[in-house]
Homo-oligomer: A and B are copies of this chain.
Amino acid sequence: MAYSNAFAALADPTRREVFERLAQGPRSVGDLAEGLPVSRPAVSQHLKVLKEAGLVTDHPEGARRVYQIDPQGLGQMRAWLDRFWDAALAAFQAEVERDDDKEDEA
């Protein structure tokens, strides 16, 4: 359920960039917007999406608002991906063996 928002959130390159910067430590909005090629309001909007996806949290710090990574959304994504991981490896293995059979025939 919730992981769907997380995938959509990280689908955007600018949002991934914001997220990567936050991985290096908590940052304020203006601080994040500093090195980015988009305006500060744009960063604000991206942070809102990341927050709703459970990927970041924020708390006021004086006049500033400091954002940091939230492990929750990250964990949900990992759990969802892991659901497919084993099945995917098994399917891949089956394909490899089928190809081997074909080579034996040739």
Contact = CB atoms under 8 A, between A and B. Distances in A.
A67 to B, nearest CB: 11
Nearest to A8: B11
A71 B89 contact: yes
Contact of A74 (B23, B26, B84): B84
Interface in A1-58: 4, 7-8, 10-11, 13, 16, 19, 23-26, 57
A18 B88 CA distance: 14
Interface of A: 4, 7-8, 10-11, 13, 16, 19, 23-26, 57, 68-71, 74, 77-78, 81-85, 87-89, 91-92, 95
Nearest first, the 10 A-B pairs at minimum CB distance are A11-B11, A71-B88, A8-B11, A69-B88, A7-B10, A7-B11, A71-B92, A23-B87, A23-B84, A68-B91
